[in-house]
Structure 1
């Protein structure tokens, strides 16, 4: 039987994931008196016999002129609408409302629509002729007519069944073919009913549907990634059931990991072929035979394949190795906990399954705990506790919700208390499977992270784990790929239930005896062990954080028995006694506010890698020289009693030395100069430090911080080239000069000398630093000039000279073609700025005129300059600003707090990239300059003499969205400009490019407030 083809539209339209809570498979729309007891009844029975859930309205309902709300819902909740057009179909307003609603659902929600032309020609329906025309003659006064006509025309253009024009159109044959067509669209099996328990599934489906690209050709693999219990399988199953009817064959191969281990991959190959090809008794003797059979039978077939819970690439190699195995348009969905598996298999699109948010968690929990979407008031608080415990994991919400269903409040409360000690067994066992598949080192890393490092910076954690020889770079990556940890904003996070699983493992290994735990993380356990000298050789690490408010007593021999202790972190000021003994296995020692004056004399520290004793009572770490060959990190910051550093000669591998805030430190041991592997030296705010070793040769140093060393007058002589040094912070020091040997900082990109009040000049050698990108001289109030060698800094991008005594700028500044930011704010004595007047006057009155007797450099060389700040520079003649026109890349200019009356339009109007102009505090300014069309923001507050904005044609400024004119009192006296201001506000309200807009302006007694939220 041929189907009528009245348009180019395909009959197999993709089901859009917006409609997923289907109540019905098929909705039947028909004229009851024409076909109810004949064609429709036979069709309805045939559909029901095939298990297709079909909505057919009751004969009793077909009364009145208005379609019922219940019928509307039935249309919306049906996957397919079948419209049976008969001669008298248009005689019913009810039927016409139905077809209008059906076409709306098709266009908005992607519903499949199939027309059946029973005893009427498609053109009759499309053009409303014959009986349809007669019916519409009675409706011309109805406001719905155009909507009905459009719906009929659109429906008649769809591909469907044309009985009058079909040869051998026996009803039984046609009905059989219609049912087969619908079954093909829906899939040969019953699809999942996306019921009320599938909370939060819709938004996640949308994202995966986009990745699947159902409308595109080719073969596409999509991965669904996430931790155990997060709902990967559920999501894949719902998607599978919704789209399988669009493929020539489909298979959902669940639990690949378990079934491949128990039944073998050959068995899974047989199931895959059996379901896709609809064959029984597929026999496969070996994997090679199975692969060949898949290629031969599936390479030209459009298939949908879901491989659920894959945990090894071998499984993919056997079941879906290459895209060429499948026909054009095929889709393969893989669910897994291992991201690397997907990357290794070159899966194009990966959707990382997220846990439920707070509202979704509450909704799902209610459905299992109360069997309804309502929360009983007396259970509200305890429910909130359980939901926090589950942390958005659907598995946990379902398990605990089901367990608590029907129990009273006391039982709920008891369960919450129990969960704090013992996690729910079914949840733990599910998660523990992931842990057991890690290798020994990966397990150690995960346990360490859960007990000690949640919320810590990944970089810092990596450094600590390296001290244990755990190879953390790859280890952390594996844990991330297996969805056991995440990294957010550079910090490591672990799901609450994975934390509990790890704690459970530690407790189980030690038979719930804290003295024998491999790791101690609970404050009361740590306090008990330390105070009672109860530690054992089983303890490898402990961490006491700030949250524990009680005082902790430490036995003098507290660590004597902890022979395997490798990690000790005490971040708590309530520990007032230090240890007399530390174990030799200790690799990382972190004790905030360490109370002792030095480390225990007996502690050799042969394996110590990291030592962090911030805010400690240390006076001197140790006496004499100590050999600590593995020590890489020392941090004694804020140790206010520290007077001198130890001898570093026995620490050849030291990489980071942080003594920030050691305000009484007066001496740095000379041996620091020979630390060839030192990367960071931080002596910030060591206010009493007067000298450094005379000579340094730190060839690996990357960052040098001496900021705030007020009494430091000289830098060391740099004996050798230090090409790794990139950042030097010297702000706020007492330096009077820099050594000529500073040119050995050959790799430096940033030098900060701001607020060096005693610095009078710079050595010429500093201008030979070819890699220098940022030079900050702000606040160097005695610095009067820059050498003409400034032009040698060809790579310089930022130059800050705010609040200096610089009186002139060298002509070579024009050679800084890469300079992006120049700031001279507050240089009131900057005569070099005043000579801009000379330049302008010489152009106006001839080259011989030079009222200042100076020659200002040509700014045209600063072709990359984007930001210029010359505010508060005592500029009184606006004509000198004409030189701004030679800065083609300028985007921001600050001219505030100067004394000019006007600004030549040519100085700013020609700057085609200018976005921001600041004129705040220009109290003598009377008229705005003409602005370029690129302008976005104008700030002219406190321009008390401003009489005119100059913004008379707003169409010139399409990007303008912010203007601030507070305390511009003279503007109100000029009524035309007040009108322009009003127009300006209206103009900015129309700006839609920006997400938000705020404006506050006060002009005498008028207040303008504008809020524009897009």
Structure 2
């Protein structure tokens, strides 16, 4: 709302729009001053780059000199603009001038001014207002930036697309020594003469390629220098192409090198257009033909919005039902690691937990995908014949109510997505044959569902940018739907309406909701897994008309993470005897577990990590005869474990970092199957007296501070 900026001490969270790498625990009473100890949103400093020293020197000169307020850095897709901007933010001279007043914001094709400003408020430790309009957000942004005082400030707006100039103008605020750096594929002459990031010269390209192809050491199996030179020349100095092809050819036989060179030698220069670059990169995917699932999984990465983190947990659900991968995510992570090793995706772990040492905990793992590689994934998906297409991606946004049908020339990918929508609209309602449907939509385009049908779809991904959303009516006809992923990319949780439509889906097995206000439950007898991330749950858990046991009588996996309004587990939960995995993490208001928890006789995993207000564990926990994994790390409110804790005869792994004040009962000696306790040094001291009586026990000591931020 309008008015003065109100300070509110709170813990910092990773907003989905920003790539925040260094998470703090809690903001102190100093509010913004404490929060601003490190630059905001700046990606990690690249470990290895080459050929950027000259451009960095020129860019730094522009940023440090007086008078210039906006600097535009432009270049081809994949040329290294974001990398150069990141290196600038980590430069000692730049940090010396701007200190902690460096803000790094990713714009992408459809920026939301209110969402960006909300993220800045949250980072600075202030209560996030509910803006009445973009104009209100601009006023509040000005007041926020004035809080920085007279100190120099650098704002990086990364990946700005045509049509966003008016939003950029909103950030032009009269503050002394305030600089804006824009990176874009276009020049934006209205903001002055741009700096152009040119392709690498051949010598630098060779050095970068040899690094990623691991050609530092010669061997009898290494390709000839002439072959290396030819492959690199085809990359035309574009770092992204050099890195991807170099890594894909790493340790490959000479035959594959020659085949790759022959394929790359055909066609036009990749500098001619974005489509040529995609055609060029497409050829390297042939390397993945030995495992078609890997290529399919790569194409699935295009189902999620540009410049947003892709949750690994969502991919695990998608791939388990689409390709029959295991539920614990081990096979999915193997594929993700393969894509990462080939420079086709980057894995980001936003927060390290003690239970991350457990092989099936991936709530803090995300995929970050380069825009051009996302374009490649979409390009590959849309090459299939319409009636055989496995994926349909529809992007409807307020910036172009006609679905960007080429009029604004915002790039080839926009036209592909637009053609997807046009193709859907032209088909008869029952003829959308896709296995997976991904829809990105905002609050201005919620009524264009009447002619859509997706009766064959087994996966539905809804990417929202709205504070209120009605589930589409065609959902009730999706009788084959197995996986539903709904993610709201606005700051405040989205109110979900028409939730009762889910009750008509007989095969729905997995639901993942993020930043959603969960309404009352509906009956889903075949649901096996429910994941709630950053959701408001009070309406469903406390005020709902239906018990969770009646809604999900056969659920096996319940995952609740960062649901800050949850004070107790939903009534009826302990009546779900099918439950095998219960993960309630970072729910700081949860104060107690139900006494009847012993009724969960099939429970194998109980994770309570970072439930800071949890004061005790009931005696009845000893009735969980099948419990194998227990995580109570960072439950700092726990003062003791009950005597019946020793009845957990099948307990194998126990995680309890930052639990030094938690007293252990003497019955611990009965845990003969306990083989691993992961804890900090202080907590480990309380376990030492029991170790002689538990010969199979291994106490793993870890170093790390307690953190409750995302």
- TM interval, shorter chain, is 0.3 to 0.5
TM-score of the two chains, using structure 2 as the length reference: 0.45
Relative contact order, higher structure (CA 8 A, sep 6+): 2
TM-score of the two chains, using structure 1 as the length reference: 0.33
Higher-Rg member (1/2): 1
